[in-house]
Chain A
Amino acid sequence: MGDREGNKSMRHLRIPVVIVTLGLLVAACGTTAGPSASGITEIGEGEGELNLVIWAGYAERGDIDPAFDWVTPFEEETGCEVNTTDMTDSNNGVSLMQSGEYDGISASGDATSRLIASGLVAPINTDVFENYGNVFDGLKDLPHNTVDGVNYGVPHGRGPNLLAWNTEEVTDAPTSWDIIWEQGADYAGDISIYDSSIFIADAALHLMNSQPDLGITNPYQLTQEQFDAAVALLEELNTNNPLYWGTFSDQVSSYGAGDVVVGTTWQFQVNLLQGEEAPIEATLPDEGSTGWSDTWMMAAEAAHPNCMLMWMDHMMSSEANGQATVWFGEAPTSQEACDYAETLSPGHCELTHATDEAYYDRIWYWSTPQEDCADDDDGTTCVTQDDWVQAWTTLRGA
């Protein structure tokens, strides 16, 4: 294994090193991203293959519903055969990218900064894309996809983590996460929770409201005291014996079987469950929620860079982005995609608040816990990503 990896990285080392060095040079000089940022000014011939790490549902070929197929047209047009691997959470996605076997990833904000910092993803020259111009300005050049003026990816879609419930068991539609954190005992054994260290942020978000004295200003950047309080809240939740879901299919089967009646979810599972006519509803609670804004990124050592760049462009096209965002239940990234989405699912853009920045102000996008608290204040230190994972293992293992 080690030897094989060694050879592989040797083989692919030269070009990426040039790319990364150029990227760093540009970053160091503080200039804005010019064509030299990626060393690529136009997309070349496809390499015939494309290997992606994705969130489940981000690359459909019509297997579940023939109306949703944005992979086959891409393959026919470019000749790039698409292979995908689902990640269970961002930590898993980063780990898969470290294997060096993938060309790109649909990374959430808690993965993007780690991928950029470790040099696993390549700077991108957005000028090579036909569809980048259409993308909402509100999604461009954000901290999770751009560092020092250099773009490292293109937006895919965004959305909140939702509160879902079974309408037969929970008759009063909840409007607050309190149903999990404060009234959890009423639903002991029936609560569905996302099995990832990033869920600690959901506890921290609740503490922002319930214990303002803790002074939490960002649920991802927590001091030791704030972090301990969040973990204590999760331990309390644990006494109510929640069922943790690792993959969307786990959760769909638990809700379907009636094993769980309330919990945190994605619009995707809600769509699937409602498609099966399960009595499931979901909402964005009043106090806001954690959420995600996903970015297609290209591996620094991508074996099929042209196919990857074509894929990125394809995923910003109105048809592909419209279909993908309706399928997953998230907000499209351009007005054109919005218009296309409306033809598939009327009202989609309003439902997902695609153009409503005030709505997204209530959402804390997943981001990586950092020791320096991701701020300019040298005086503060925060609990690191590693400790988040450790704490989650402890919580889940006990």
Chain B
Amino acid sequence: MIVAYFGSLAILLLSAFWEKDAFTGRVEPFVWSLDAFDDLITNTVYRTIALRTIAIAVLVTLTDALLAFPIAYYMARVASPRMRGVLTVAILMPLWAAYLVKVYAWRTILQGNGFIEWMLEPFGASAPGLGQILNSWLVLSYLWLPYMILPIYAGLERIPGSLLEASSDLGARSGTTFRRVVVPLVFPSLVAGSIFTFSLTLGDYITPDLVSDAKFIGNVIYDNSSLGNVPLAAAYSLLPIVIMIGYLLVARRLGAFESL
């Protein structure tokens, strides 16, 4: 099992250094070459795509954090037990539906003759269509929202009520308590949630392909492997791996793993 897993990963990474015939497109295993890296560096499009992917991943993470916090706070601190049960089910429910079903549902919402067009029509506007990069941001934010809510909810629930009472007994207003007690205590959970939203967005290629026309890192990897340019795909896949290793190291320092 370990051999199969790490062995295939090792071959994937090694193949980044293999040579490819320009005409037949045949990859020559164990014929070493840095052509793939040369292509990645000289062609600026790969930088554009990487920056686009990272930017969307950051945007999705921020959006989900902003949306998830009030929901999680309401669930953990305000809602009655009955309401909390209802909300928990409501948040978990979308996770039971298949990923593709949800993305195709969004596709029909966004495309011409879809829900958005039907809403906009009375105002004389038409749907933005499937060519917009912001579609990816919208749909990915929707898809990964539960992964942000659940850790924050768990983090908020772990804060003992006595701490909040102590804070107000010492004269802090609710705003101050929130800023100086709640946020620092729940921050590791937020970082934990961001690991999911950031890494899942960074690695996604199906949603960007289905709801927008803009390429992500994953699309380039997929396209090149399906076109037979495995070395380039492998070389490019090193980038998200490196980014995620860095992200996880920072997340560990911020205590995210203790709060999972």
Contact = CB atoms under 8 A, between A and B. Distances in A.
Interface of A: 1-2, 88, 91-92, 94-95, 98, 114, 117-118, 120, 189, 241, 243-244, 246, 253-254, 257-259, 368, 370-371, 384-386, 389-390, 393-394, 396-398
- Chain A binding site: helix, strand, loop or mixed by DSSP? helix
B220 A397 contact: yes
B24 A394 contact: no
Given A243-B130, A397-B48, 5 more contacts: A95-B225, A241-B131, A257-B114, A259-B111, A398-B48
B39 A385 contact: no
A368 B21 CA distance: 14
A384 B23 contact: yes
Nearest to A258: B112
Contacts of A98: 25-27, 228
Contacts of A259: 111-112, 129-130
A2 B215 CA distance: 28
B91 interface: no
A237 B8 CA distance: 41
B172 interface: no
A259 B111 CA distance: 7
A239 B46 CA distance: 19
Contacts of A95: 25, 225-228
A367 to B, nearest CB: 12
A257 B131 CA distance: 14
B213 interface: yes
A243 B213 contact: yes
B113 A1 contact: no
Closest A-B pairs by Cβ, 8 of them: A118-B24, A95-B228, A394-B45, A91-B227, A258-B112, A397-B45, A257-B112, A259-B112
Contact of A91 (B25, B114, B220): B25
Contacts, number: 89
B239 to A, nearest CB: 14
Contacts of A241: 131
A396 B228 CA distance: 18
Interface residues of B, number: 35
A91 B228 CA distance: 7
Given A114-B24, A258-B113, A398 B228 contact: no
Nearest to A246: B209
B49 interface: yes
A371 B22 contact: yes
A276 to B, nearest CB: 13
Contacts of B45: 393-394, 397-398
Contacts of A398: 45, 48
A245 B136 CA distance: 17
Contacts of B229: 389
A393 B23 contact: no
A259 to B, nearest CB: 4
23 contacts: A91-B227, A91-B228, A92-B226, A92-B227, A98-B25, A114-B23, A114-B25, A117-B23, A189-B131, A243-B213, A254-B111, A254-B130, A257-B112, A257-B113, A257-B114, A258-B112, A368-B23, A389-B229, A393-B43, A393-B220, A394-B45, A397-B49, A398-B48
A371 B227 CA distance: 19
Interface string B206-222: 00010001010000100
B211 to A, nearest CB: 12
Interface in B10-59: 11, 20-27, 29, 39, 43, 45-46, 48-49
